[in-house]
Structure 1
Amino acid sequence: MAARVTRSQRLVLALVCAVAVSTIYAIQPVLAAAGTGLGLARESLGVLVAAGQIGYFAGLVLLVPLGDVLNRRRLITVHLVLTAAGAAVAAAAPDGAVAVTGLAIAGLFAVVVQVIVAYTAAVSAPGERGRNIGAVTSGVVIGILGVRVLAGVLGDTVGWRAVYALLAVLCIALALIVRAMLTPDRRTPGARYAQVLASMGRLARTDRLFLSRGLIAFFLFAAFGTLWSGLALPLGTEPWNLGTTQIGLFGLAGMAGALGAARAGRWADSGLAQAITGSSLALLTGSWLLIARTEATLWLLIIGIVLLDFAVQAVHVSSQHLLTAAHPHRASSVIGAYMAFYSLGSALGAITTTWAYSIFGWSGSCWVGAAYSLSALVLWTIAQVAGSTRQSGASSPRPRPKCRDTAPVRC
């Protein structure tokens, strides 16, 4: 069902992505305040962060494949309403157990982001698919980073609960707008939910492109998580001693980088997805040289953040363009399975950055992030070499049979 996606529709879809993913990450800048308000001990605060991530992972496996079976416009609307319900529960939670439940529900249905990517790929003309995916997914990074600024300001002025109350209202408003503005995306009869789930498992075993891009995403977002889950640690201590609002403002640098990579979709449409991936992964690896320098000035850190987020978004858009182009009829399940790598990588980065910082300081965290980035670059290089080898083997001419008097071959 190829059609032209209008600018206003791209804007709405990007906003949905930004708001939905914000429900997972909004707790991070206000974690201490939320723990105090909910009566949680400091060593138990991690459950508030983990709740949304666990819900999100479950949604990737169980809910995103529904996009290959049901009308995606209706699915987006319902998921937004349920995300709003989870955010509202978190905002009104009287204790930690209820807050964890609300955050898990919000994370579970925040996978509406992946349904939107599949919807965008399905309704886009082939020559505009990468451009539209790039514009829509820019909302994801804007949400992840922008909510740090918003939550930091609201947390210091109104209180942490106001963050989730606002997100709940925005989800309901966007559900109404989606219902009014988007074209229905009805599925072709025949696809069954169980079959779609089973196909996700077969992807990793049989599809080289999917496995390659999934593993690259795993290390890509492990590097991303290493930066953003650990950045508050050096900035909150000597010599900077920055507060929550000030640390949140560093998200603006990340947003600038992510927006700068919005053209990656256009480049992918021009057949440059692989080249963009390789150059961006090299840039990602090199950005850690600047991110590690936080002693005398923060300007090098800011430049490094811009470069890192540009690289992450460029690779992410290129990967989704390649996967949706290769699997146009099951884009939801493919993107859901691909994003499972993203979720696991983000969790790995969050865990290892705090471990490395506790032992080696910020330089240790940066070495870990650089190792993840380099691993992704090595994987891409191996995939390129393997692909070139297969192509050369397939294109090599078959040897002509030797001429014999009895052979039915004209020499």
Structure 2
Amino acid sequence: MQPHRLYLSAAAGIAVANVYFAQPLLVTMGADLGIAAGTVGAFVTVTQLGYGLGLFFLVPVGDRLDRGRLIRVQFVLLAAALLLVGVARNAALLLIGLAAVGGLAVVTQSLVAYGASLSPPAERGRTVGTITSGIVLGILLARTTAGLLTDLAGWRSVYLISCGLSVLIAATLFRSPPQPKTDLSYGALLRSTVDLWRDEPLFRASAIRAFFIFASFSTLWSSVALPLTERSLSHTEIGLFGLIGAAGALAAGPAGRLTDRGHGQLVTTTASVLLATSWLVLVWTPKSLLALAIGAIVLDLAVQAVHVSNQTRIYPLRPDAGSRLIGGYMVFYSIGSGLGAIASTTLYERTGWTGVCLLGATFAVGALLTSVRAAPPTSRAFRSCESCR
């Protein structure tokens, strides 16, 4: 299973990177297409909107169809959307392309559910942690890669190269034994995703917490290019801060193992405290790049620890609905990321970096409150599964 874990981790990282390529390039893309700096956050927001729609309407299909085949088709369509972005010559076409990229990049979550379904219960947290490490690296190295490629060959090269990688993954994805599937119709699948919110208190608390942690995460990474650009840093230099923040991937493995051992609540609470604390350091970014580096590492470690723990704890609630659980959970991730992106870039133009930090800290406090006030596990699955406590 180890080679499969690594392959799925790499594929997930490449897929999710497409959602974040634009973050260090917002100013450049806006200037190229004549869009004001105060509204370039729309590039991230429309991508996250597409991602949110894809999470709800596409990911649950993995509980009904063969996940391996579905993943291959999604990567082919993702390649087509990336090609559209790479050749777009006006803002309208670019926004359509970015929305499609977001909607199809949800193949990342299909890969998480795929890996979890192939793993025995005792190793599920490890598998989710490994794939999530790839996702973390994809998110953070997307900025470094995008900055470097833009300085070398222009921002369009970023999307065209990713298009080629998506085609490669579609052609090389391994085959797996058939997995149990639901007989629910597509409409019933979507309705049951909504029912999970009503029936599973832990899922509900985890989803709300996902909203807050990724709103805080996006507040930093969607707006940090603005003050760094004012300091005349190049795209490559701005992207390097994503490389520094990639240390957050180190939290994914330990968080998954601790959650497998029944310490999920401790992981989420401790990491939420670290998330709120990180903004006390990040507020010094305009005066110290070291403060940005330290704050980014702490923030990313905290976000990924909470994220892995959330996913590892909710999957056993309904293993037969793994895609719906992960997809429904990630809808809140997408909403939080989109809100953080548009709010932070708009707020920066009006109040500067201090206002951005207050916004990020507010989201972090929201995550902490949902951690310490999380509902006790009362679902039927929890009463019969000790590892989920």
- The answer, yes or no, to whether TM exceeds 0.5 is yes
Larger Rg: 1
Q: Partners of 2:37 and 2:220 in 1: how far apart?
A: 22
Percentage of pairs with the same residue: 44
Partner of 1:208: 201
Partner of 2:359: 368
Question: CA 1:39–1:357 in structure 2 vs 1: closer, same or farther (change >3 Å)?
Answer: closer
1:173-204 deviations in Å (ceiling 9; x for gaps): 111221xx241443435232221110111122
Q: Partners of 2:163 and 2:366 in 1: how far apart?
A: 38
Partner of 2:49: 54
Q: Aligned to 1:387, what secondary structure does the other structure show?
A: coil
Question: CA 1:374–1:41 in structure 2 vs 1: closer, same or farther (change >3 Å)?
Answer: closer
Aligned pairs for 1:93-104 (under 5 A) are 93-104=88-99
CA contact (8 A) 2:124 2:312 kept: yes
Q: CA deviation at 1:42?
A: 5.6
Question: CA 1:182–1:281 in structure 2 vs 1: closer, same or farther (change >3 Å)?
Answer: farther
Q: Partners of 2:29 and 2:310 in 1: how far apart?
A: 36
2:309 pairs with 1:315: no
Q: 2:255 aligns with which of 250, 260, 264?
A: 264
Letter in 2 for 1:172: V
Partner of 1:195: 188
Aligned pairs for 1:79-98 (under 5 A) are 79-98=74-93
Q: Structure 2: which 5+ residue stretches go unaligned? A: 384-389
Question: CA 1:170–1:272 in structure 2 vs 1: closer, same or farther (change >3 Å)?
Answer: same
Partner of 2:386: none
Partner of 2:337: 346
Q: Aligned to 2:376, what secondary structure does the other structure show?
A: helix
Q: Partners of 1:231 and 1:31 in 2: how far apart?
A: 11
Partner of 1:274: 265
1:378-410 deviations in Å (ceiling 9; x for gaps): 111112xx52999xxx9xxxxxxxxxxxxxxxx
CA contact (8 A) 2:33 2:91 kept: yes
Partner of 2:211: 218
Partner of 1:409: none
Q: 1:120 aligns with which of 92, 101, 115?
A: 115
Task: Flag the structure with higher helix content.
Answer: 2
Letter in 2 for 1:85: A
Question: CA 1:198–1:388 in structure 2 vs 1: closer, same or farther (change >3 Å)?
Answer: closer
Range with bigger deviation, 339-348 or 44-53? 44-53
Aligned pairs for 1:237-252 (under 5 A) are 237=230, 240-252=231-243
Q: TM-score, normalised by structure 2?
A: 0.92
Q: 1:157 aligns with which of 152, 161, 170?
A: 152
Q: CA deviation at 1:44?
A: 6.2
Question: CA 1:38–1:291 in structure 2 vs 1: closer, same or farther (change >3 Å)?
Answer: closer
Q: CA deviation at 1:40?
A: 5.2
Higher relative contact order (CA 8 A, sep 6+): 2
Q: Partners of 1:43 and 1:229 in 2: how far apart?
A: 12
Partner of 1:130: 125
2:229 pairs with 1:236: yes
Q: 2:69 aligns with which of 74, 78, 81?
A: 74
Letter in 2 for 1:345: G
Q: Partners of 1:309 and 1:170 in 2: how far apart?
A: 26
Q: Partners of 2:172 and 2:58 in 1: how far apart?
A: 22
Query: What is the number of equivalent residue pairs in this alignment?
Result: 380
Q: Partners of 1:287 and 1:9 in 2: how far apart?
A: 34
Q: Aligned to 1:236, what secondary structure does the other structure show?
A: helix
CA contact (8 A) 1:151 1:160 kept: yes
Partner of 1:186: 179
Q: CA deviation at 1:229?
A: 1.1
Q: Structure 1: which 5+ residue stretches go unaligned? A: 1-5, 395-411
What is the CA RMSD across the aligned residues, in angstroms?
A: 2.1
Q: CA deviation at 1:233?
A: 2.3
CA contact (8 A) 2:141 2:242 kept: yes
